Structure 1
Amino acid sequence: MAIAKRKFTFYKHMMTGVSYMIPVVAMGGLLISIGTMLGGVSVIDSPESFAGIVYFAGKTAMALVVPVLTAFIAYSIADRPGIAPGLLLGTMAVANGTGFLGGIIAGYFIGYVSLFIKKKLRVPSAMEPLVPVLIIPLLSGIIGALFMSYIIAPPISAATAAMITMFKEMGTSSKFLFGAILGALPGVDMAGPIGKIFTTVATGMMAEGIFEPNGAKVCCCMVPPLALGISSTFMSKKKYTKNEKEAGKPALILGLCQVTEGGLPFLLANPLRVFPATAIGCSVTGGIAMVFGVTAPVTMGGIFALPVMGNPIGAVIAVTAGVIVAVALLAILRKDVEEEEVVKEEELKMDISIKVE
């Protein structure tokens, strides 16, 4: 129980950081997209034009992603005293090349350092108002700066650089495998805790200037509700209950808008006959999107993100392929509602007879 609680707490701190980081990513990605649409590929050479200002504002926002993530992981652990040193270490992570991974490690480290100082430090009552706003941030900042410079930066910056180089040099088969493995995750729990792993990886690589994993993620998160909506509304209606059929039409709309949670009513009602189909469908989508080089500077949007995505036709093909696979598997895995009810009645009779005996 204690181990499970610690795992949940660790995850909670990470998700706090990610939740505050996502609006920054969304803002930065949209600004970059708008600037690029207005100024074209040469916008980088016109920093004083309107398009250039918008574009470079987006680039500046993207530079804030890691500091915000680090700061709010620390905030989740130590409350307000963790924010300032978290911002410092996150900015150092960007500067020294440790990036997203360095920012996560720094967030946990500085959060627990700040919490330790907060609990153990004793000062005269007259100085107590200064503790959360000055003393803890100052001490944590010094400790954290030394930790980043001498312990974290050398190995993590090397590992981050190697990871980016490896990704850029991936062949077609490797990219398909990368996208297929991560792509399956949103289909397992409809972008719940397991699916958020893909979000974390994709967002982290966006901070390093790599947008393909995020493009694959945007495509994959559309597949489960679309597949379940099509299956329950048009293709395999006999395999769904009345309530599931009613959930099918909203699921179609939610899928187009990339709200993966639209598939939750189906998953919760019959998980073993749903998640294998949606996970495999998402896996197909993720692999194809990576091979086609689909990119996305925004984390959400579904079909509304297509105008700012790289290779939107490839995105449509990837989503369509994944949905077709998922719908076909749902037709195989799901049983007719009447058959399921007969099986349940037989199981119930068997249980009763055993109890009577």
Structure 2
Amino acid sequence: IAPGLLVGLISRIIGAGFLGGLIGGYVAGWAAMLVIAYVKVPKWAAGLMPTLIIPFLASLIAGLFMFYVLGGPIAAGTVWLTGYMKTLDTSQKFLYGMIIGVLASVDYGGAINKTVFAFVLALQAEGINEPITVLILASMVTPMGYTLAYFLGKLVHKNIYTPLEVETLKTAFPMGLVEITEGSLPIVLNDLWRSVVATGVGGAVGGGLSMLWGADSKIPASGLFAVPTMSRPWAFIVALIIGSVVTALVYLILKKPVSATDLQEEKEEEDLNLKDLKISD
């Protein structure tokens, strides 16, 4: 904790910002591991290692490295990146919105999403709110798009969901409204590549439009609860609807209809009653 706190303060002082603090956290952790691995003390001082020696030496190493080596380039990079993002033209905004939308959506809250989140959160710390709004939107298009695909499937008489998946939608949709994508995973894992394609296309279109129209959430998460903080809430809502419709259409087109055999097998599983099981003596 002590080395991490120190590099965070140094990042703020030298202008490295959130990104400097994020990278500095890794530096602090590595410094602590080096001290643990290579610093040996007499037995009588072993008790001081976790309370004094490790925090002191790790803070000293990480702090000096951050201040004299790493901090300057990160601060310069942050200034350049902030200035660059503020000068994007129309086509560039749409392109970057598409890229963020795809990367933030295709692994459904996994490692790629979290990496993108760290990047866009660093931009928000510098006053650029549009990229993180794209991430919020991209995390919502999957559950909303899949739910919409169910109703569109009814209109065109194409049944793409099993009864169990329909029950999953009843949970996934409200979770999606508050930016929790994971409720859709039971459906995604049943047909992974079609799900990824539909999600990626919808996230790209919705993200590109959100960035282009300047949707700007002032908070980094929470789905529809972030809308009141935006200066252009209509841009977010319209982009979200369009992205969800695109996801629904692509998924509906790619997905194979549920066969009668699959429905029958699932019905037989549902009919299994544990009360009918008997244990003989």
Please tell me the residue identity of whatever aligns with 1:326: T
User: 1:154 is matched with which residue?
Assistant: 72
**Is 1:116 aligned with 2:34?**
yes
User: 2:253 is matched with which residue?
Assistant: 332
Is the Cα contact below 8 Å between 2:215 and 2:236 reproduced in 1?
yes
Structure 1 residues 108-129: Cα deviation after superposition (integer angstroms, max 9, x where no partner): 2221221121233222333333
1:233-244 aligned at under 5 Å gives the runs 234-237=151-154, 238-244=159-165
Relative CO higher for 1 or 2, CA cutoff 8 Å, sep ≥ 6?
2
Is the Cα contact below 8 Å between 2:148 and 2:245 reproduced in 1?
no
Residue 340 of structure 1, CA deviation: 9.2
Change (3 A) 1:150 1:336: same
Please tell me the residue identity of whatever aligns with 1:194: I
Q: Distance in 2 between matches of 1:220 and 1:105?
A: 25
1:185-224 aligned at under 5 Å gives the runs 185-224=103-142
1:111-150 aligned at under 5 Å gives the runs 111-150=29-68
Q: 2:224 aligns with which of 278, 291, 303?
A: 303
User: 1:316 is matched with which residue?
Assistant: 237
Q: Distance in 1 between matches of 2:26 and 2:171?
A: 39
Q: 1:227 aligns with which of 130, 145, 151?
A: 145
User: 1:350 is matched with which residue?
Assistant: none
Is the Cα contact below 8 Å between 1:215 and 1:309 reproduced in 2?
no
**Is 1:263 aligned with 2:184?**
yes
Between Structure 1 and Structure 2, the one with more helix by share is: 1
Is the Cα contact below 8 Å between 2:101 and 2:134 reproduced in 1?
yes
Residue 193 of structure 1, CA deviation: 1.6
Q: Distance in 2 between matches of 1:334 and 1:109?
A: 46
User: 1:291 is matched with which residue?
Assistant: 212
Residue 245 of structure 1, CA deviation: 1.5
Change (3 A) 1:84 1:156: same
Is the Cα contact below 8 Å between 1:223 and 1:319 reproduced in 2?
yes
- 263-272 vs 118-127, which deviates more? 118-127
Q: Partner of 1:336: helix, strand, or coil?
A: coil
User: 2:16 is matched with which residue?
Assistant: 98
Please tell me the residue identity of whatever aligns with 2:118: T
Residue 339 of structure 1, CA deviation: 8.5
Write out the 4+ residue segments of structure 1 that deviate beyond 6 Å after TM superposition.
none
Is the Cα contact below 8 Å between 1:230 and 1:248 reproduced in 2?
no
**Is 1:167 aligned with 2:88?**
no
Change (3 A) 1:263 1:186: farther
What is the count of residue pairs matched by the alignment?
258
Q: TM-score, normalised by structure 2?
A: 0.86
Structure 2 residue runs of 5 or longer lacking an equivalent are 263-281
Please tell me the residue identity of whatever aligns with 2:35: I
Q: Distance in 2 between matches of 1:229 and 1:302?
A: 16
Residue 287 of structure 1, CA deviation: 0.8
Change (3 A) 1:257 1:153: closer
**CA RMSD of superposed structures (Å):** 1.8
Q: Distance in 1 between matches of 2:225 and 2:191?
A: 31
Please tell me the residue identity of whatever aligns with 1:267: V
User: 1:276 is matched with which residue?
Assistant: 197
Q: Distance in 1 between matches of 2:115 and 2:76?
A: 23
Structure 1 residues 278-307: Cα deviation after superposition (integer angstroms, max 9, x where no partner): 111011111111111111122222222211
Q: TM-score, normalised by structure 1?
A: 0.68
Q: Partner of 1:283: helix, strand, or coil?
A: helix
Structure 1 residue runs of 5 or longer lacking an equivalent are 1-82, 342-357
1:50-69 aligned at under 5 Å gives the runs none
Q: Distance in 1 between matches of 2:77 and 2:252?
A: 44
Q: Distance in 1 between matches of 2:200 and 2:93?
A: 18
Structure 1 residues 80-129: Cα deviation after superposition (integer angstroms, max 9, x where no partner): xxx10111011111221222332233222221221121233222333333
Q: Distance in 2 between matches of 1:181 and 1:107?
A: 27
Q: Distance in 2 between matches of 1:197 and 1:85?
A: 23
